[in-house]
C-alpha cells in the first residue's frame, strides 16, 4: 500500500524529541515490509537539509486568508533513509533553525498541512493512508473530508498518532478564514471549548487514533489537558501501540558514536571502556556507579526534580556515586543544575544542550538512566538504555510502565510510583546496593539487553490498523 507519514519532525532531518525518532524509523520498517512509504516534513534550516541533495518535484502557493506563501516540494534524491523523504519548503515560514517556538507557529503548521494536501491532490493519485502525527497535522483528517478543494480525497483514510497529548495546537476562530473553504455546517468538528483545537479535530475526524503505548491510551482517558471526554468517546477507534526503536541505529555492537563496541556476551569490558571515556570527558570517577539523565528539562519529564534530587543523593552518597545530566529546557532548571557543579565537583557534571553523539556515549557508558517523568507517553530513552546495558530507573507511568519491571520482581529496572525527590533518591539508594551486588546487577542488565524492542512487530500492528480502516471496519 502507499502510505504517507506527515509530521513536524523526522530524524535525522529535524529532531526535538521522540516524535522524530518514531517518524524516522517506523516508515523504514514499513518500507522493508514491501510498502511504498513517503514521509513529509517542513524544510527547516537544519544540517541534514544543508548537507544533502534534493530535487524539486512540485511547487505552488498556499493561501492563508490574505497571505500568499509560495512553496516547493523537495525530494531527497537518494532515498538514503530507506523511504522517500519530502520537504515542504516555505522559506518565509520554515527557513529557520528551530522547529518550534515562534509567534507564527499556527500559521507555519497550517500552511504546512495545506501545502501537503495541495501536492497530494496535484499528484492525481490518492494514497491508501495518511498517518498524521500529533497536533501539527491534526487538521488534515478534517480537510480531506470537508474542504471543497480536496474533494478528490474524501475517501482517503486517515489515522492520527498521538505522541504527546499535552500539546494540542489551540487557536482562535479569528483565524478560521485561514482554512480552505468548507461547508460551515461541519464547523462543529473544529470547536473545542470555544476555540479550534487541532489535536481534538484530528481525533474527531481521523478514522483511527493510536497512542504510543497501551498505558498512555488508558491515561489520556483520565488526564489529557481537557480532552478526557473526547478520548473516552472515541475509544472504539483507538489503540495503544508501544513504540519500537531502530535497532540498526541503536546497536552497541556497531555504533560508531561510542568509544568501544560490545555485545551482550562481552558487555563488561565494552561498557567499562565507554564509562572511562565519559568520565574522563566530564571529570568523574569511573569506579563509581554513574547515574545519567538525557532529555528535556521540563516538569513533564521531572526535570524540576533533578536539582534537589541530585543534591540530596550526592549528599547521602558522596563517596559512592556520580551524576551526569544532558539536557536543556527551562532556564531556571538549567541554572540550578549548572550551579551544582561548584558544590559537587568530581561527582557531578552537566551538559546544557543536546548532542546526539554524546547521548550515544552516555547510554553506553552509564550504569543507570534516570527517568522520573510525570508524563511519558511511551519513552524511548529506557529502551535505548537497556539496549546498551544501562539499567533504567523510572516512575511508573505511560510507556515506562509497559517496558520496565522492577528488579525486585525479577525485572529489568528500578521503579517508583511518585514523581518526587524522595522517590528518586530512594531508587538511587536501591541502585547503589544493586551495583555492589555484581551477580544480580549483571542479571538485571542482561534482561534489559535481551528485550526485543525492534520495530518489526510494531510495524505490523500499524499495517493491520491501516488495513482495517481501509476496509472501513472498526479497529
Q: Which residues are annotated as a binding site for ADP-alpha-D-glucose?
A: 15
Number of other residues whose CB lies within 10 A of the CB of residue 456 = 12
The 54-64 sheet, strands edge to edge: 54-64, 67-76, 84-89, 36-42, 2-6, 129-133, 157-162, 208-211, 238-240
Separation between Cα atoms, residue 382 and residue 403, nearest integer Å: 8
Separation between Cα atoms, residue 250 and residue 17, nearest integer Å: 16
Separation between Cα atoms, residue 397 and residue 401, nearest integer Å: 5
Separation between Cα atoms, residue 211 and residue 332, nearest integer Å: 31
| Residue 234 CB burial class (10 angstroms; 0-12, 13-18, ≥19) | middle
Residue set of the binding site: 15
* Dihedral sign of CA atoms 399, 400, 404, 409 in order: negative
From first CA to last CA, the distance across the chain in angstroms is 18
- Do you find a cis peptide bond into 6, omega within 30 degrees of 0? no
For the chain, give the number of residues.
475
Amino acid at each position: 500500500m502507499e502510505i504517507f507519514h506527515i509530521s513536524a519532525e523526522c530524524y535525522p532531518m529535524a529532531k526535538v524529541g521522540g516524535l522524530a525518532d518514531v517518524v524516522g524509523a517506523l516508515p523504514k520498517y514499513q518500507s522493508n515490509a514491501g510498502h511504498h512509504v513517503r514521509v513529509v516534513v517542513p524544510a527547516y534550516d537544519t544540517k541534514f537539509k544543508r548537507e544533502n541533495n534534493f530535487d524539486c518535484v512540485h511547487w505552488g502557493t498556499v493561501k492563508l486568508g490574505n497571505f500568499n506563501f509560495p512553496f516547493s516540494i523537495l525530494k531527497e534524491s537518494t532515498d538514503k533513509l530507506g523511504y522517500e523523504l519530502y520537504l515542504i519548503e516555505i522559506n518565509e515560514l520554515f527557513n529557520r533553525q528551530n522547529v518550534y517556538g515562534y509567534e507564527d507557529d499556527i500559521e507555519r503548521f497550517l500552511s504546512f498541512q495545506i501545502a501537503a494536501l495541495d501536492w497530494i491532490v496535484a499528484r492525481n493519485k490518492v494514497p491508501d493512508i495518511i498517518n498524521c502525527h500529533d497536533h501539527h497535522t491534526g487538521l488534515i483528517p478534517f480537510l480531506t473530508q470537508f474542504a471543497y478543494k480536496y474533494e478528490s480525497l474524501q475517501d482517503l483514510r486517515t489515522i492520527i498518532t498521538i505522541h504527546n497529548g499535552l500539546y494540542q495546537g489551540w487557536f482562535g476562530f479569528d483565524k478560521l478564514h485561514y482554512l480552505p473553504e468548507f461547508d460551515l455546517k461541519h464547523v462543529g468538528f473544529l470547536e473545542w471549548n470555544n476555540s479550534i483545537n487541532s489535536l481534538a479535530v484530528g481525533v474527531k475526524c481521523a478514522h483511527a487514533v493510536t497512542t504510543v503505548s497501551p498505558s498512555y491510551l488508558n491515561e489520556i482517558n483520565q488526564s489529557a489537558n481537557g480532552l478526557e471526554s473526547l478520548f473516552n468517546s472515541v475509544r472504539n477507534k483507538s489503540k495503544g501501540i508501544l513504540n519500537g526503536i531502530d535497532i540498526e541505529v541503536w546497536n552497541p555492537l556497531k555504533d560508531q558514536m561510542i568509544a568501544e563496541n560490545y555485545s551482550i556476551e562481552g558487555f563488561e569490558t565494552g561498557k567499562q571502556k565507554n564509562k572511562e571515556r565519559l568520565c574522563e570527558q566530564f571529570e568523574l570517577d569511573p569506579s563509581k556507579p554513574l547515574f545519567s539523565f538525557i532529555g528535556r528539562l521540563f516538569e513533564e519529564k521531572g526535570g524540576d526534580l533533578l536539582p534537589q534530587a541530585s543534591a540530596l543523593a550526592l549528599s547521602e552518597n558522596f563517596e559512592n556515586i556520580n551524576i551526569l545530566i544532558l539536557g536543556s529546557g527551562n532556564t531556571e532548571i538549567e541554572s540550578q543544575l549548572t550551579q551544582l557543579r561548584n558544590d559537587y565537583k568530581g561527582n557531578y557534571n552537566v551538559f546544557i544542550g543536546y548532542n546526539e553523539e554524546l547521548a550515544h556515549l552516555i547510554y553506553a557508558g552509564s550504569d543507570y538512566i534516570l527517568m522520573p517523568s510525570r508524563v511519558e507517553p511511551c519513552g524511548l530513552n529506557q529502551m535505548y538504555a537497556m539496549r546498551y546495558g544501562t539499567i533504567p530507573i523510572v516512575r511508573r507511568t505511560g510507556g515506562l510502565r509497559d517496558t520496565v519491571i522492577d528488579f525486585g520482581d525479577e525485572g529489568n529496572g528500578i521503579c517508583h510510583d511518585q514523581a518526587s525527590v524522595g522517590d528518586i533518591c530512594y531508587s538511587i539508594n536501591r541502585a547503589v546496593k544493586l551495583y555492589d551486588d555484581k551477580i544480580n546487577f549483571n542479571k538485571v542488565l542482561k534482561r534489559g539487553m535481551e528485550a526485543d524492542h525492534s520495530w518489526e512487530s510494531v510495524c505490523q500492528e500499524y499495517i493491520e490498523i491501516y488495513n482495517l480502516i481501509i476496509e472501513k471496519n472498526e479497529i
